[in-house]
Structure 1
Amino acid sequence: MAEEPAENISGGAGGGGRVEAFPDGEPKTRAEAAVDELGDMYWEKAYGGQAAFECLVRTILSQNTSDKASQPAFDELIARYGPERDPEDGNPERVDLARALADAERSELAETISSAGLYNQKSKVIGEAAEWALDSYGSAASFDEYVTQGEPVDVRETLLSIRGVGPKTADCVLLFSGGQDGVFPVDTHVHRIARRMGLAPPDADHEEVREHLEATIPGEKCGFGHTSMIQFGREYCTAREPACLEGPEACPLYDQCDRVGIDELDGEAVDPADTVEP
């Protein structure tokens, strides 16, 4: 077993789920080797265990914005719609979040999540998702049960049927709520890094990148690959100023990377898709 680094980049402090050991053995693909390299830098302790409906709402809030902006919006949403006070004893009592959000005044909901950006659009998507969850499953708890116990392929298809829910949102719910192996959500960082490294074609869209990664990385490493690649993208492989422009020693994955779209002589980085001849 690989030694566990000190930093835990799992899906939040309340992740829950099962503890994973980083698997031993020689990597069979270059993509797996890259994830193994990330295992020396970062570590993930557990996936699954997050309430599925809360995870769905959290991921909708994170669309087209940073965690720094979306987390306060989620905290405000939970503070307003999650608990309520029993009028007799004043103790907090958890209400069904899907019911509370389905009944919420849209303008009030939009104001609550305003720090996440696109708040009018997101409040509509969240409200409609809450109504859908109630109509389809009766409660947030029953929806949670479906996500954790249903067949991943069926659950993913169901999630994608919700207006405003795309592949990345669906996959994050599968990963952080269902704890499913073989799920590699693709966000902006993953999309950029996989193509830049040559792990997927330079002009691949998000779904094509996901298919390439899930086909070349063992299922038990996909969840960790997702979170660690995001962290790597924030710290090293940024869009405009990747560490490799400072020299080979600056990037720990330099020898694993094709550096598609990187001009080390001119010190420029472009989207890998821009390197494809029309």
Structure 2
Amino acid sequence: MSDDPEPSRNISGGHDGGGAAVEFDRGSAETRAEEVVDRLGELYWQKSYGGQHAFVSLVRTILSQNTSDAASQPAHDRLMDQFDDQVDLAAALADAPTDGIVKAIRSAGLYNQKAAVIQRVAAHVRDEYGGADAFDRYVRTEDAHQVRDTLLQLKGVGPKTADCVLLFAGGRDGVFPVDTHVHRIYRRLGIAPPDADHEEVREVLEARMPPEKCGFGHTASIQFGREYCTARDPACLGGPEACPLYDLCDRVGVDVETGTTVDPADSTASP
């Protein structure tokens, strides 16, 4: 895991994150999960997503694995500066000298591993779809479940990466990618079971959230996890006024009296 500090804002959700600003009518939330996201929508941006190029989004998300935006964004920018002027980005990356990719993405951490994944998926996109533009059309137009399954068959592409491509490139409603922050927050809130894995948290959220709120729910939750619901020192330790979701939260794994926190899964463990 990278020691680089997180940026003060979530790049994928803020002004530079793509998508279009929209207004969501709060109405009456039908689930606590929806009420949480409505509250976060008052703190942060409300957006509908889509419009990013699918292959670029895939590469960007691979670079973000196990590192922060502050480290992975410059790596992505250098990689695009070096290769994006080629006739086809996927072909250019597939055929590029590996050490050239490694040099460009070094700041992202795990650079040898990520370079191998990028070249492997680039070769797949070139060979199976004919190039990055055809892959982009596939992601935008085919059935979302089929696209997700296809992405998950690529070695080095996990559920969060596949879901981010569906959200940020495909603009698919009902997709709630689960990263480390989302996984922690919704188990700590008591909305997902304390021992739920990433996929189980995703299933809970997508079942209990209006499809159109999933995208900004994902990005706003990340920002909330950075600013308030951190792993070791959540704001709720400072009392009800310190956290905007205090009244909606079960604080699973958080002991306000002693000021200690454990992973929600460990809160149910036997002594």
Distance across 2 between alignment mates of 1:186 and 1:155: 17
For residue 88 of structure 1, what is the aligned residue in structure 2? none
Unaligned runs of 5+ in 2: 1-8
Equivalent residue number for residue 90 of structure 1:
none
Query: Cα deviation per residue 1:240-273 (whole Å; 9 max; x = unaligned)?
Result: 0000011111000000000000011110111001
Q: State the partner residue of 2:34.
A: 32
- Are residue 51 (structure 1) and residue 53 (structure 2) matched? yes
Residue pair 1:182, 1:222 contacting (<8 A) in 2 also: yes
Alignment of 1:79-98 (within 5 A): 79-83=81-85, 94-98=86-90
Matched, 1:273 2:270: no
Identity of aligned residues (%): 65
Per-residue deviation, residues 32-76 of structure 1 (Å, max 9, x unmatched)? 011111111111333100000000000000000000000000011
Count of paired positions = 262
Indicate the residue corresponding to 1:69 in structure 2: 71
Q: Which residue of structure 1 aligns with residue 202 of structure 2?
A: 210
Structure 1 residues 11 and 103: alpha-carbon distance in aligned structure 2, compared to 1, 3 A threshold: farther
Q: Which runs of 4+ in 1 moved over 2 A?
A: 7-21
What code does the residue aligned with 1:213 have?
L
Instruction: State the TM-score, normalizing by the size of structure 1.
Output: 0.91
**CA shift in 2, pair 1:81/1:10, >3 Å:** closer
2:43 to 10, 19, 41: 41
Give the superposition deviation at 1:111. Answer: 1.5
Q: Residue deviations 1:78-99, cap 9 Å, x none?
A: 111112xxxxxxxxxx531101
Cα distance in 2 for partners of 1:10, 1:120 equals: 24
Give, in whole Å, the separation in 1 of the partners of 2:211 and 2:25: 11
**How many Å apart are 1:277 and its aligned residue?**
2.9
Query: In 1, are the aligned partners of 2:178 and 2:198 still within 8 Å (CA)?
Result: yes
Is 1:198 the counterpart of 2:190 in the alignment?
yes
C-alpha separation between the residues in 2 aligned to 1:146 and 1:12?
27
Indicate the residue corresponding to 2:180 in structure 1: 188
- Structure 1: distance between partners of 2:22 and 2:199: 26
The 5-angstrom pairing of residues 1-278 of structure 1 reads 11=13, 16-17=18-19, 19-83=21-85, 94-277=86-269
CA contact (8 A) 1:262 1:268 kept: yes
* Structure 1 letter corresponding to 2:49: Y
Please state how far the C-alpha of 1:275 moved relative to its aligned partner.
1.2
What one-letter code is carried by the residue in structure 1 that aligns with 2:54?
A: A
Task: Report the Cα offset of residue 24 of structure 1.
Answer: 3.3
- Kept in 2, the 8 Å contact 1:34–1:253? The answer is yes
Deviation at 1:20, TM superposition (A): 3.0
Q: Supply the RMSD in Å over aligned alpha carbons.
A: 1.6
| 1:261–1:270 CA contact under 8 A, matched in 2 | yes
More divergent stretch after superposition (7-16 vs 96-105):
7-16
- Asked whether the equivalents of residues 16 and 46 of structure 1 are also in contact (C-alpha less than 8 Å), the reply is no
1:97–1:9: structure 2 CA closer, same or farther, 3 Å change rule? closer
1:104 is matched by which residue type in structure 2? Answer: A
d(CA) in 2 for partners of 1:19 and 1:41? 14
Provide Cα deviations, 1:208-235, integer angstroms capped at 9, x if missing partner.
0000000111101000100000000000
Conserved? CA contact 1:10–1:43, under 8 Å: no
Pairwise CA distance, 1:276:
2.1
TM-score normalised over the length of structure 2: 0.93
Partner AA of 2:50 in structure 1: G
Take 1:35 and 1:228, find their aligned partners in 2: how far apart are those partners? 8
> Which of these two proteins has the greater Rg computed from alpha carbons?
1
Unaligned runs of 5+ in 1: 1-6, 84-93
Counterpart residue identity of residue 222, structure 1:
C
